[in-house]
Amino acid sequence: MARRLFPGAWLRKPHSAQVRLSYVRIKYLFISWLVVFIGSWIMYVQYSTYTELCRGHDCRKIICDKYKTGVIDGSACSSLCAKETLYFGKCLSTKPNNQIYLGIWGNLQSVIKCQMEEAAQHDFGTDPEPRKEIVLFDKPTRGTTVEKFKEMVYGLFKAKLGEQGNLSELVNLILSFADGNKDGRVSLPEAKSAWALLQLEEFLLMVILQDKEHTPKLMGFCGDLYVTERVEYTSLYGISLPWIIELLIPSGFRRSMDQWFTPSWPRKAKIAIGLLEFVEDIFHGPYGNFLMCDTSAKNLGYNDKYDLKMMDMRKIVSEINLKEIIKDRQCDSDLDCIYGTDCRTLCDQSKMRCTTEVIQPNLAKACQLLKDYLLRGAPSDIHEELEKQLYLCIALKVTANQMEMEHSLILNNLKTLLWKKISHTNDS
């Protein structure tokens, strides 16, 4: 009777099920569309970022065009532009105007560095570095003799380094390096390449420190492109993650996570000794004091023997050069007197100008970087003493009385403490 009176009752349940099924289909269709949209957007952003940062093709074209027209020459030009035995590999660039690639030169692993455009500006201002000639390769001009070129290089060194060390010997070293084909003479195209390279702080420092263990070896050059030895591990610690994941991870947790991906403690100690030795190398060396203005893990690497190698020295500048850069900088507070991330001076409120004396020495910055790196997993019998020495080191100030004596004492104490602990192990 009920069925005859209410015929729609037979249809209600199937109709309700159909509605739910349609809703589920629409929901999954929407979710699928959203996933595809987000995935496409991420791929687009990553591709755009890559094409902006990684411009190796443009770099090679600019350099090879100049080489083929006879403007520049160098020891890597033929392999890069004619024989094509120097290849660009994985892109490591972090800025569009500083191209860094892993490379292969014949059978050798290498790193290729190339400066794009007029490039860099000082981190605390808008004044561009005087590097327009890097792109144009307009110096030295035709008719410049070797003696005149040597005078140009000497004057550049005097401006950057002051009257320190044997500058004439350094000039001869540059001329020897500039002679790319080793025919005993420096041609005009080779001189143009050398002059362009000498505008770069990193290249100049690499030449000065070529005989030091922790500086990657220069393999060749062409224009303002230069090739160095490959370093197996390109960061002091940590793991590389996709940028979208980096955004989601809190910075504190990221720092803790970085410490999980490190070598064993004896190997960390050996790497740390290497950094301390590098600090020693650039502290009042034969060509003056150099300042580390970006002391971060990404600028340090190490090889398969756990010997430290400097990966990026672009923000290591001579003290004289930094003083010249910052001396007339206007300021309202100390925050206006920072070069890179780590070279800080004070703001003279009476003159509203930055002072020229950097507050923190290189050793204090290095110890700050090494503190968590070394204390995590340190043997219990040296942990307390190691922590004490690291905190004494971090507290170092350039303006302190007897700073140089304290600097040497703490540096030697740290090296001795670490070396004694690993000297009997295979890692030493």
Closest Cα to residue 314, out of 82, 40, 129? Answer: 129
Quote the pLDDT of residue 427: 61
Q: What are phi and psi of 222, to 5 degrees?
A: -160, 110
Q: Which DSSP string corresponds to 224-245?
A: TEEEEE--SB-SSS-----HHH
Is the predicted pLDDT of residue 262 greater than 70, yes or no?
A: yes
Quote the pLDDT of residue 261: 75
Tokens for 327, please give them. Answer: 């001396």
Q: Long-range contacts for 107-110 (Cβ within 8 Å, ≥24 apart)?
A: 108/219, 108/230, 109/229, 109/230, 110/86, 110/219, 110/227, 110/228, 110/229, 110/230
Reported pTM: 0.79
| Angle made by CA atoms 110, 113, 115, in degrees to the nearest 5 | 170
Tokens for 115, please give them. Answer: 């400066």
Instruction: Burial-class residue 147 by CB neighbours within 10 Å (0-12, 13-18, 19+).
Output: exposed
Is the predicted pLDDT of residue 135 greater than 60, yes or no?
A: no
Quote the pLDDT of residue 234: 76
Closest Cα to residue 172, out of 190, 188, 186? Answer: 186
Preceding peptide of 140 cis, ω within 30°: yes
Tokens for 88, please give them. Answer: 């660009």
State pLDDT tens for residues 62-91: 999 999 999 999 999 999 999 989 999 988
Tokens for 206, please give them. Answer: 């690499």
Instruction: Burial-class residue 89 by CB neighbours within 10 Å (0-12, 13-18, 19+).
Output: middle
pLDDT band at 353 (very low <50, low <70, confident <90, very high): very high
Is the predicted pLDDT of residue 257 greater than 90, yes or no?
A: no
14 versus 196: the higher-pLDDT residue is 196
Tokens for 403, please give them. Answer: 């700073």
Quote the pLDDT of residue 390: 95
Is the predicted pLDDT of residue 133 greater than 50, yes or no?
A: no
Q: Which DSSP string corresponds to 347-361?
A: EETTTTEE-S--SS-
Residue 358: CB atoms within 10 Å? 23
Specify whether the CB–CB gap between 232 and 209 falls below 8 A: no
For 246-327, list the strands marked E by DSSP. 290-292, 300-302, 308-310, 316-318
What residue type is assigned to position 75 of the chain? S
Tokens for 340, please give them. Answer: 């890179």
355 versus 123: the higher-pLDDT residue is 355
Closest Cα to residue 155, out of 142, 135, 170, 145? Answer: 170
CA 15/CA 30 separation, integer angstroms: 23
